[in-house]
């Protein structure tokens, strides 16, 4: 959640585990009492209730709002490192406390940067599905940041040798965003049109849709996208951000591997030249694959695209010597010559005329050496090339074509569609037979003798080994025997330059480097015959190795950034309707067998979209990265973000939700505290109390961790008659209004009287946005700033309508960059300019009204109250109940100077509870506590930081000074200003600080909270709260607290009557009557007293009398 901006690399901090209101309270008490804190939860935000929201008995509908200020204060507290999506990796007991390592899953959306503008959701192709990957934190959480749900990469993607992001282009196709879809493919595959036809698509084998009905027809969708693109324009690659490298590279062979390698080397910035022996590029694609499967137009177009993007291809050039290439200035050579030499049958007569290899046959066909073929044709083998040869033979006019295969149909490597289509075209297939002899007459083959096979034990390929059946020989007529039993590489002269194996394959290490430095090899020439996509993958990997080698770098980024996503696939919904897989339309067999026209017609757009919609989107976010593109200026979204590790030492650990704390065994141990028993916590107040209690206990262990804050100097406004006003309009990543409207608003502001600067900024809550403002503020020597964003006010406090973005903007501007808030006027036009549906004119007009008011306010701005008072650490605990004892004890351990009065009475007040009256006074607890056995308390005077408590101790009158007074026995409550604190809503007033009395600094046990927690816990909680008040060592005035003009004040006392917080008192003046005086320490800045004053002798900052009047005038004035 928080990253660099948090207190960097925390060395020592308290660990808090879990989410919920209890945890929130713990964090508040610890942070505000000066302790560094690492807050870890697996939840996406900190309010997820361990007990479950439903379990709370007392829950006013607006309660969640009431916690917003607390949430913002704590999660953005400089001492708090708050980690969502995180867990404890390890925790060991060390000499100086627990050594802890916490891990935070990658935050694909950075909580510190996200403006919540929502553009990412608009562009996400799967946002309007049952499981949108991008979601806002729930309404009750004041963060508007988004959460991105990412799972492990989808099976289709991992199955693809090229790692093409299938899920992404399915998602985009499903929403008819065809161009983007194709771009996704082209990222990883430069030959989509070719692969869309001839790929053996392992993706479809792995498709999880098959568990519902049938696998998605991924390959055909890819073909549709490529064809559509080709039909519209020449295919092109996105050329952005390419560096230029000097090193020239030679690639030998323009087949799938060579082309792919050349493409990626070229993209990596290297000048690449491909040497192709044949007079046309394409290698096996062109020579080995039939035109009716792969039309030459497609092949040419996609090769052309690669050439156009800068790859040179020298066709008809056979490389005889590598030395020459290096001589020519090439720095590296990549051999991708493939495997073009057919394996011979190795039976009698296989050298006769009419006997030839499949590749040989196809090559002569495709180079025009063969145009017709008569008689009976026998094809040996069951692979794609067997069927390519057979189907070619049919089209060349053979009388009969039969394929002989030694295993079962299911064992054939050829693709099912290939086999199906071949049979439709009248090709016979005989299984379980192998050739043994070719009968020859006059040097020409006339027939073929085969032997029947039976299936034996499975071999290492997992297929059962065929064994001949003795005496089952039989003969068939055959004018042509075509051997399609495999090919092997053939280096035509280069073999003596690099080491090869028996099968003629080039030996390479895993870096694709051959025996000779600078010479690499990839594709079939290394692996032996492989699939198209397999060879391409080889080419691509080789390319990155070559470029790494040339750069002398480690593996170079090849545009496919590592994804760190984790987590299981989404399950297909139970009620997922079954849908048949789209069928590929074919040309009618009788017609197609006569020519070489393409057989498969391809999908229509409707088919493609429907098919893509069948995709289950297994890993939620499909990583199409559309969101990244709209978030570029903000940079909140990064799909390649890594997880984060925080290691620190903590003397104490607080567990707020046990199911997030794996080491149950540790729970009992010293220094490990639990926030109540949550599953049974049914009362919010109880939970908060438990939170404070455990915070208090933890504090006792953390004395060394306390760092009191230093207050900021109060700022006065310069007396500038002619203010220089700068206006900044936050466009919220361009979502505020149309760019036209934005420009007009900026110019409008620039024209307003007093404006010297007007600027549009991408985002005010973004660090860079804030920095722009700060820079302009200094460069333009501005004296007032108007910030038009979603920020409502520049004040320091957070209110219940605040959210993280608003708060963050202020933290950046005022806390981080040190601008003074009293020079700022902020207007929330983000939320009140009017929806996106309003016209540009309307938007500008509304903005104008906002700005007029803002300019007026900016002129009237006055200084905020910024005084501070030194605080001591003298704490007086009145009452020796368990509450008092534990409170005093814990405070003592924290180094406060505690005076504990064990038995307190009030004159004429209630008597002591029996238990306390009879308990023997022991001064064993506490090192530095001053114990007073018994006293009668008369009065408490003064204010936080300076109380005077008068008491009589053993008939002797005493006056104790204290910075804070705690009333820990119920019989003392009359000393506190009485206020009804029963009923949850009463706590709103005191920000859920149960111990507050209207007199800040006098704290008391809450009858309501006693009995909910043990007296000991109540004491600890009270101690925690006292620490939050005392630890800062300085007491800050409320920025809005009013001033009294003694020359005007008539001492009528209306102000005193209205104030609930006892923040105004009347002091006699030398005129013989009273003058009102504001007790800054008690004031909460509501301005009630200001409103009541009959002679405007009182006025407050920011909501001053003058301001309110001028605002009224301005918003209603005739000139409006």
Partner 1 sequence: MNEIDRIIKAQSLFQCLECGKCSAACPRRLTGKEYSPRLLAHKVIAEREDEAFIENAVWDCLSCGMCSERCPSGVKFSGFILDMRTLLAETKGLQGYRAHDGAIHSWMRMMTAPELEQNRLDWVSEDLGVAESGDVAFFVGCAPYFDVFFAGIEVDTLSIAKDSIRLLNFMDIKPVLLRDERCCGHDLLWTGDRENFERLCRLNYETFRAAGVREIVVSCPECYHVLSEHMPRVIPGFDIKITLLLDLLQREVHKGGKAFRSLKRRATYQDPCRLGRMAGRYAAPRELLGLIPELRLAEMENSGPSALCCGNCGFINCDAHSKQIQVQRLQEARATGAEMLITACPKCLIHLTCAIRDRLRQGSVKMEIRDILSVLADQIAWYGG
Partner 2 sequence: METSADMKKSAGKKQVRLLGICCNWSPFACYNAAGMARLAMPPDFRLMRVMCIGRINQALILRAFEYGADGVILLECLDEDCRYGPGPGVGHENVRRVRKLLHLLGIDQERLVERSFGAHEKDVLVETLWRFADQIQALGPMTGGDALGVKRPAL
**Backbone torsion region of residue 210, taken as left when φ is above 0, otherwise alpha when ψ lies between -120 and 50, otherwise beta:** alpha
Which range of residues in 124-132, 240-248, 730-738, 798-806 is near partner 2 by CB under 8 A? 798-806
Which of partner 1, partner 2, none is residue 1040 near (CB under 5 to 8 Å by kind)?
A: partner 2
128 Cβ neighbours under 8 A, 6+ residues apart: none
104 strand-pairing partners? 86, 644
Task: Please say which residue, 837 or 1070, places its beta carbon nearer to partner 1.
Answer: 1070
The site that binds partner 1 (CB under 8 A) totals a number of residues, namely 22
CB of residue 840 vs partner 2: minimum separation in angstroms?
9
Distance from chain centroid for Cα 329:
46
Kindly write out the interface string for residues 306-345 of this chain, putting x where it contacts partner 1 by CB under 8 A and - elsewhere.
----------------------------------------
Q: Which does 920 bind (CB under 5 to 8 A by kind): partner 1, partner 2, none?
A: none
Q: Which of 800, 970, 973, 1010 binds partner 2 (CB under 8 A)?
A: 800
List the alpha helices (DSSP H) in 199-247. 202-206, 218-232
- 752's contact among partner 2, partner 1, none, with CB below 5 to 8 A by partner kind, is none
Is the four-CA dihedral 675, 679, 684, 685 of positive or negative sign?
negative
Q: Is 842 in the site for partner 2 (CB under 8 A)?
A: yes
Q: Does 1116 bind partner 2 (CB under 8 A)?
A: yes
Specify whether the CB–CB gap between 110 and 638 falls below 8 A. yes
Q: Is 61 in the site for partner 2 (CB under 8 A)?
A: yes
- For residues 985-1014, which are near partner 2 according to CB under 8 A? 985-986, 988-989
836 binds partner 2 (CB under 8 A): yes
Tell me how far apart the alpha carbons of residues 385 and 340 are, in angstroms, rounded to a whole number: 12
Select 487 or 798, whichever has its Cβ closest to partner 2: 798
Judged by beta carbon distances under 5 to 8 A according to partner kind, the member of partner 1, partner 2, none in contact with residue 1095 is partner 1
The residue within the footprint of partner 1, chosen from 886, 1075, 1082, 1104 (CB under 8 A), is 1075
List, in sequence order, every residue forming a beta bridge with 758; answer none if it has no partner. 727
Cβ distance to partner 1 smaller for residue 908 or 1072: 1072
Question: Of these, 759, 849, 946, 1045, which contacts partner 2 (CB under 8 A)?
Answer: 849
Nearer to partner 1, 562 or 1047 (CB): 1047
Interface pick for partner 1 out of 205, 1071, 1113, 1117 (rule CB under 8 A): 1071
Strand partners for 1010: 1013
799 binds partner 2 (CB under 8 A): yes
Q: Do 621 and 120 touch, CB atoms closer than 8 A?
A: no
Q: Mask of contacts with partner 2, 1025-1044, x by CB under 8 A? A: ---------------x----
Instruction: Work out whether 1052 is an interface residue with partner 1 (CB under 8 A).
Output: yes
> CB within 8 A of 549, min separation 6: which ones?
332, 511, 513, 518, 520
849 binds, among partner 2, partner 1, none (CB under 5 to 8 A by kind): partner 2
CA distances from 115 to 46, 665, 766, 831 (A): 18, 42, 7, 13
Q: Which of residues 25-44 bind partner 1 (CB under 8 A)?
A: none
Determine contact, residues 178/168, Cβ cutoff 8 Å. no
Instruction: Spell out, one character per residue from 18 to 57, where the chain touches partner 2: x when CB under 8 A holds, - when not.
Output: ----------------------------------------
Contact between residue 17 and residue 675 where contact means Cβ atoms under 8 Å apart = no
The residue range among 19-27, 37-45, 299-307, 1047-1055 that interacts with partner 1, by the rule CB under 8 A, is 1047-1055
Q: Closest Cα to residue 400, out of 436, 372, 376, 432?
A: 376
**Residue 577: burial class (beta carbons within 10 Å; 0-12, 13-18, 19+):** exposed
* Sole binder of partner 1 in the list 910, 939, 1069, 1115 (CB under 8 A): 1069
Secondary-structure percent of the chain, ordered helix, strand, coil, rounded to 5? 30, 20, 45
Closest by Cα among 573, 625, 566, 567 to 130: 573
1066 binds, among partner 2, partner 1, none (CB under 5 to 8 A by kind): partner 1
**Scanning residues 1042 to 1061, which ones bind partner 2 (CB under 8 A)?**
1058, 1060-1061
Handedness of CA 416, 422, 426, 427 (dihedral sign): negative
CA–CA separation, 881 and 916 (whole Å): 6
From 54-62, 937-945, 1029-1037, 1044-1052, give the range in contact with partner 1 by CB under 8 A.
1044-1052
Residue placing its CB nearer to partner 2 in the complex, 1033 or 1108: 1108
Q: Would you count residue 719 as binding partner 1 (CB under 8 A)?
A: no
Residue 919: both structure tokens together: 């308990």
Q: Where are the alpha helices (DSSP H) in 652-714?
A: 684-701
From partner 2, partner 1, none, which one binds at residue 1092 (CB under 5 to 8 Å depending on kind)?
partner 2
Instruction: Tell the smallest beta-carbon distance from residue 1103 to partner 1 (Å).
Output: 13
The answer to whether 750 contacts partner 2 (rule: CB under 8 A) is no
**86, containing H or E segment:** strand 86-94
* Residue 1074 token pair: 């009273």
Taking the CA atoms of 864, 870, 876 and 881 in sequence, report the sign of the dihedral they define.
Answer: positive
Of 241 and 1094, nearer to partner 1 (C-beta) is 1094
Q: Which residue has the tokens 């110019």?
A: 747
Contact between 1073 and partner 1 per CB under 8 A: yes
**Residues 1076 to 1105: which contact partner 1 by CB under 8 A?**
1094-1097, 1105
Question: In angstroms, what CA-CA distances link 919 with 885, 936, 955?
Answer: 12, 17, 21
CB of 1086 to partner 2, least distance (A): 4
Per partner kind, with CB cut-offs from 5 to 8 A, the member of partner 2, partner 1, none near residue 1118 is partner 2
List the beta bridge partners of residue 150.
Answer: 620
Residue 1073 touches which of partner 2, partner 1, none (Cβ within 5-8 Å per kind)? partner 1
- In this complex, which beta carbon is closest to partner 2, that of residue 816 or of residue 848? 848
Contacts of 414 (CB under 8 A, 6+ apart): 382, 383, 384, 386, 387
Asked if 792 interacts with partner 2 (CB under 8 A), we say yes
- Is residue 1074 part of the contact set for partner 1 (CB under 8 A)? yes
Indicate which of partner 2, partner 1, none lies near residue 1097 (CB less than 5 to 8 Å, by partner kind). partner 1
Determine which residue in the list 301, 586, 762, 1066 makes contact with partner 1, applying CB under 8 A.
Answer: 1066
Q: Residue 1052 touches which of partner 1, partner 2, none (CB < 5 to 8 A by kind)? A: partner 1
Across 351-374, b (16+ Cβ under 10 Å) vs e yields ebebbbbbbbbbbebbeeebeebe
Read off φ and ψ for residue 126, nearest 5 degrees: -110, 30
Question: Per residue in 1077-1087, is it b (16+ CB within 10 Å) or e — as a string?
Answer: bbbbbbbbbbb
Using the rule CB under 8 A, which residue among 129, 449, 828, 869 binds partner 2?
A: 828
CA atoms within 13 A on the CB side of 504: 19
For partner 2, the binding residue among 58, 62, 595, 659 (CB under 8 A) is 62
d(CA 408, CA 430) in angstroms, rounded, equals 9
Site for partner 1 in 433-492 (CB under 8 A): none
Residues 6+ apart with CB under 8 A from 351: none
What are the residues binding partner 1 (CB under 8 A)? 1046-1053, 1066, 1068-1069, 1071-1075, 1094-1097, 1105, 1109
What are the residues binding partner 2 (CB under 8 A)? 60-62, 64-66, 792-793, 799-801, 828, 831-832, 834-836, 841-842, 844-845, 848-849, 983, 985-986, 988-989, 1040, 1058, 1060-1061, 1084-1088, 1090-1092, 1103, 1106, 1108-1113, 1115-1118, 1120
């Amino acid at each position: 959640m928080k990253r660099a901006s948090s207190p960097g690399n925390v060395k020592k901090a308290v660990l808090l585990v879990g989410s919920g209101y209890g945890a929130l309270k713990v964090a508040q008490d610890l942070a505000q009492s000066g302790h560094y804190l690492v807050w870890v939860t697996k939840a996406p935000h900190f309010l997820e209730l361990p007990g479950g929201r439903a379990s709370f008995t007392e829950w006013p509908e607006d309660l969640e709002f009431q916690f917003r200020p607390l949430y913002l204060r704590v999660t953005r507290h400089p001492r708090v490192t708050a980690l969502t999506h995180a867990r404890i990796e390890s925790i060991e007991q060390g000499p100086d406390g627990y050594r802890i390592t916490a891990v935070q899953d990658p935050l694909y959306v950075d909580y510190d940067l996200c403006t919540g503008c929502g553009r990412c959701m608009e562009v996400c192709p799967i946002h309007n599905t049952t499981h949108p990957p991008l979601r806002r934190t729930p309404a009750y959480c004041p963060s508007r940041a988004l959460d991105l749900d990412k799972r492990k990469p989808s099976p289709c993607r991992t199955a693809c040798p090229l790692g093409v992001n299938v899920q992404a282009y399915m998602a985009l196709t499903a929403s008819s965003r065809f161009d983007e879809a194709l771009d996704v493919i082209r990222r990883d595959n430069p030959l989509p049109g070719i692969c869309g036809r001839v790929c053996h698509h392992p993706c479809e084998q792995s498709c999880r849709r098959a568990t519902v009905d049938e696998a998605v027809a991924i390959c055909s969708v890819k073909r549709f996208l490529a064809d559509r693109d080709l039909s519209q324009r020449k295919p092109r690659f996105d050329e952005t951000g390419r560096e230029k490298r000097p090193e020239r590279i030679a690639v030998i062979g323009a087949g799938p591997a060579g082309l792919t390698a050349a493409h990626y080397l070229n993209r990596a910035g290297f000048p690449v030249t491909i040497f192709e022996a044949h007079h046309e590029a394409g290698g096996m694609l062109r020579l080995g694959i039939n035109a009716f499967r792969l039309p030459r137009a497609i092949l040419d177009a996609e090769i052309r695209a690669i050439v156009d993007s800068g790859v040179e291809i020298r066709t008809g050039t056979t490389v005889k010597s590598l030395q020459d290439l290096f001589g020519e200035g090439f720095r590296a050579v990549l051999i991708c010559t493939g495997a073009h030499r057919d394996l011979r049958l190795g039976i009698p007569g296989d050298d006769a005329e009419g006997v030839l290899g499949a590749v040989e046959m196809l090559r002569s066909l495709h180079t025009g050496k063969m145009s017709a073929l008569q008689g009976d044709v026998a094809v040996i083998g069951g692979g794609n090339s067997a069927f390519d040869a057979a189907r070619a033979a049919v089209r060349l006019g053979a009388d009969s074509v039969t394929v002989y295969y030694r295993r079962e149909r299911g064992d054939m490597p050829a693709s099912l569609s290939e086999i199906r289509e071949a049979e439709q075209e009248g090709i016979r297939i005989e299984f379980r037979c192998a050739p043994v002899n070719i009968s020859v007459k006059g040097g020409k083959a006339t027939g073929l003798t085969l032997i029947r096979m039976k299936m034996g034990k499975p071999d290492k390929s997992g297929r059962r080994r065929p064994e001949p059946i003795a005496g089952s020989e039989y003969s068939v007529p055959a004018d042509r025997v075509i051997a399609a039993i495999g090919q092997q590489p053939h280096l035509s002269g280069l073999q003596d330059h690099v080491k090869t194996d028996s099968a003629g394959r080039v030996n390479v290490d895993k870096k694709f480097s051959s025996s000779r430095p600078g010479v690499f090899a990839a594709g079939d020439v290394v692996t032996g015959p492989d699939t198209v996509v397999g060879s391409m993958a080889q080419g691509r990997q080789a390319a990155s190795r070559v470029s790494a080698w040339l750069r002398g770098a480690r593996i170079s980024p090849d545009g496919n950034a590592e994804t760190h996503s984790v987590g299981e696939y989404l399950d297909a919904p139970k009620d997922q309707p079954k849908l048949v897989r789209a069928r590929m339309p074919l040309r009618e067999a009788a017609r197609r067998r006569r020519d070489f026209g393409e057989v498969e017609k391809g999908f229509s757009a409707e088919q493609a979209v429907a098919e893509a919609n069948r995709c289950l989107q297994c890993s939620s976010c499909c990583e199409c990265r559309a969101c990244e593109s709209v978030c570029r200026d903000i940079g909140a979204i990064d799909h390649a973000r890594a997880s984060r590790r925080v290691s620190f030492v903590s003397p104490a650990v607080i567990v707020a939700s046990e199911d997030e704390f794996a080491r149950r065994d540790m729970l009992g141990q010293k220094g490990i505290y639990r926030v109540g028993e949550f599953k049974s916590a049914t009362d919010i107040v109880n939970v908060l109390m438990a939170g404070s209690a455990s915070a208090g206990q933890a504090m006792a262990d953390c004395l060394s961790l306390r760092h009191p804050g230093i207050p900021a100097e109060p700022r006065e406004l310069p007396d500038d008659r002619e203010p220089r006003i700068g206006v900044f309009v936050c466009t919220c990543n361009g979502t505020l209004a149309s760019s036209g409207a934005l420009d007009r608003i900026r110019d409008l502001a620039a024209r307003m009287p007093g404006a010297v600067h007007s600027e549009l900024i991408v985002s005010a809550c973004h660090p860079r946005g804030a920095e722009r403002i700060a820079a302009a503020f200094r460069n333009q020597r501005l004296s007032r700033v108007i910030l038009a964003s979603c920020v409502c006010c520049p004040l320091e406090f957070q209110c219940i309508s605040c959210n993280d973005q608003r708060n963050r903007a202020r933290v950046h501007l005022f806390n981080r960059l040190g601008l003074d808030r009293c020079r700022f006027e902020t207007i929330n036009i983000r939320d009140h300019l009017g929806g996106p549906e309003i016209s540009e004119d309307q938007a500008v007009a509304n903005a104008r009204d906002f700005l007029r008011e803002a300019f007026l306010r900016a002129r009237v701005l006055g200084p905020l109250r910024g005084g501070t008072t030194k605080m001591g650490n003298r704490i007086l605990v009145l009452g020796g109940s368990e509450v008092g004892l534990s409170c005093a004890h814990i405070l003592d351990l924290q180094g406060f100077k505690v005076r504990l009065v064990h038995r307190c009475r009030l004159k004429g007040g209630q008597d002591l509870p029996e238990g306390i009256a009879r308990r023997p006074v022991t001064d064993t607890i506490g090192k530095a506590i001053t114990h007073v056995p018994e006293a009668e308390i008369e009065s408490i005077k003064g204010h936080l930081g300076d109380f005077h408590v008068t008491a009589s101790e053993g008939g002797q009158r005493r006056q104790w000074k204290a910075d804070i007074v705690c009333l820990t026995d119920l019989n003392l409550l009359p000393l506190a200003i009485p206020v009804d604190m029963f009923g949850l809503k009463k706590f709103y007033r005191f920000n859920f600080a149960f111990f507050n009395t209207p007199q800040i600094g006098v704290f008391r046990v809450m009858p309501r909270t006693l009995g909910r927690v043990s007296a000991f816990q109540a004491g600890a909680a009270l101690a925690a709260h006292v620490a939050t008040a005392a630890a800062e060592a300085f007491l800050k005035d409320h920025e809005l607290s009013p001033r009294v003009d003694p020359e005007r004040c008539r001492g009528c006392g209306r102000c005193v009557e209205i104030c609930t917080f006892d923040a105004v008192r009347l002091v006699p003046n030398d005129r013989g009557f009273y003058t009102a005086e504001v007790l800054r320490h008690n004031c909460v800045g509501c301005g009630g007293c200001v409103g009541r004053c009959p002679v405007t002798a009182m006025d407050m900052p920011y909501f001053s009398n003058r301001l309110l009047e001028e605002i009224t005038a301005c918003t209603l004035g005739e000139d409006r």
